[in-house]
Chain A
Amino acid sequence: MGTEENLKQLPLDDLHKAANARFGGFAGWSMPITYPLGVMKEHLHTREKAGLFDISHMQLFDVAGPQAAALLARACPLDASALHIGQSKYTFFLNDEAGILDDLIITRLGDDHFMVVANAGNAAADEAHLRGVAKGFDCRIDALDRVFIAIQGPQAVDVLRKAGIAGTDLAFMHGFEPKPGWFMSRSGYTGEDGFEIGLPEADARALVEKLFADERVAWVGLAARDSLRLEAGLCLHGHDITPDYDPVDAGLLWAIAKPVRETAGFIGADALLAKIATGSAKKRVGLKPEGRQPVRTDAELFDADGNKVGLVTSGGFGPSAGFPVAMGYVSKDLSALGSKVFAEVRGSRIPVEIHSLPFTPHRYHKG
């Protein structure tokens, strides 16, 4: 389980090594997967106290200039000019077929200034895509070199307050630049209240040290990040959403405001509107396997007659739920809550119930 060659190292790699993390490759990065606490306790710690995640593999893009809002409204199904300063929105890059190239969080920092947070695995493609779309727009795109950390859990806000960090009065899905080189938002991908902070490496080292003075803080690795987001019903790009799925399939139309659909100025609009009109033959759903056996990514789903009806796109065990949890796509006629399908796992068919998402209630701070 040692680090593989050619993997990029996080700027705080030495801190994770000192914390005895176990590493694994993810999206080209050597990432801390678990710490000695273990995935189960790291997961539960985040739901009870405050988990600290190094998410520096993710990419921050600073987009600024007179036509920054216009560019983002073209690149994403988003009316960037309608965001108020400080507001964050979940959105996407779509291709011409409305397939999801990546999912993003965009925060408006000023009249002509936005922060785009993109997934690690898509960072290079996203940058090329955005620069391609930006031709002819009067704005500048900077891929920032930052440490990016997330502190998540019900006590995250109090930990930051006690540490004297500004920004604890933010409402969920809002962000700002507390000081030069810093970006902070009240957001995250665990279903809990929390914050994400991008900052220069030296500042990050000082901040991490300060946060660990609070005994409620523990490092949490990528394994628990995955089980937390899965319980929270949040999509992982590359698994639950890919260019093969559009926002209609994925049940993510809530992220695309009606006026944005009507204006149809974004890439993929024609295909998306056509898909909205016809509807999708499949639907993204929560899946609860019967019993204790987890059903994992790429397990195929069948109906009672043995016809293939879907695919598991994420699956594992939900430490807070206390049972196996999964997400995937099933044909629309079997997507109602409580419907029964069967997952093929090592040659046997395991009964799986269509379950509501999230598996554990979100506890965001709405402000």
Chain B
Amino acid sequence: MAATYFTEDHEWVRVENDIATVGITDHAQDQLGDLVFVQLPDVGQSLSKGDATVVVESVKAASDVYAPLDGEVTEVNDATASDPSLVNSAAASDGWLWKMKLSNPDQLTGLLDEAGYKAIIG
């Protein structure tokens, strides 16, 4: 049973067993505008919560996507690197960015649920 969490940095985190899939929220892609470049991490890369992990670039600007939790990258979504607009069109599904094996699942309690995230973006 997968549970979805959110961060104040506008990421979503879907957790199944101890693997988290991370992407940016639809709100975030809307704020960024048309994406033209996505730089993904390396598989095997070890991440600490708060690390700048992915760079997404719109026509106008570059933005970091941060690691929401500690862990190790197990898979990246190369489809977003070859077609960055996938993140715009399907931020919460096919536009996911990377998967990571959690090393500290207790950190999940520090994340937001959907209602908490919606309250932030208003």
Contact = CB atoms under 8 A, between A and B. Distances in A.
A136 B84 CA distance: 59
Interface in A212-253: 223-224, 226-227
Contacts of B37: 292-294, 317, 324
Interface stretch (A33-41, A51-59, A254-262): A33-41
Given A40-B59, A319-B59, A292 B33 contact: no
B51 to A, nearest CB: 14
A66 B60 CA distance: 46
A135 interface: no
Contact of A39 (B31, B33, B62): B33
A18 interface: no
B34 interface: yes
Given A292-B36, A294-B37, A223 B59 contact: yes
B60 A223 contact: yes
A294 B33 contact: no
A308 to B, nearest CB: 22
Given A39-B60, A294-B62, A346-B55, A317 B36 contact: yes
B57 interface: yes
A19 to B, nearest CB: 16
B58 interface: yes
B103 interface: no
A43 B58 CA distance: 14
Contacts of B60: 33, 39, 223, 226, 316
B74 interface: no
A1 B31 CA distance: 8
A324 B31 contact: no
B39 interface: yes
Contacts of A324: 36-37
A346 B58 CA distance: 16
A293 B33 CA distance: 16
Contacts, number: 45
B33 A34 contact: yes
A296 interface: yes
Contacts of A43: 59
Nearest to B84: A292
A180 B31 CA distance: 42
Contacts of B31: 1
Contact of B57 (A33, A38, A293): A293
Contacts of A293: 37, 39, 57
Nearest to B85: A40
B95 to A, nearest CB: 16
B39 A39 contact: no
Nearest to B88: A38
A317 B39 CA distance: 15
Nearest to A43: B59
Contacts of B62: 294, 296, 346
B55 A316 contact: no
Interface string B28-64: 0001011011010000000000000001011111100
User: Which of B33, B39, B60 gathers the greatest number of chain A CB atoms within 10 Å?
Assistant: B60
Nearest to B61: A296
Interface in B2-34: 31, 33-34
A1 B37 CA distance: 22
User: Which of B36, B55, B58, B84 gathers the greatest number of chain A CB atoms within 10 Å?
Assistant: B36
B36 A38 contact: no
Interface of B: 31, 33-34, 36-37, 39, 55, 57-62, 84
Interface of A: 1, 33-34, 38-41, 43, 223-224, 226-227, 292-294, 296, 316-317, 319, 324, 346
21 contacts: A38-B34, A39-B58, A39-B60, A40-B33, A223-B33, A223-B60, A224-B59, A227-B59, A292-B37, A292-B84, A293-B57, A294-B36, A294-B37, A296-B61, A316-B59, A316-B60, A317-B37, A319-B34, A319-B59, A346-B55, A346-B62
Given A40-B59, A292-B37, 7 more contacts: A41-B34, A223-B59, A223-B60, A224-B59, A317-B37, A319-B34, A346-B55
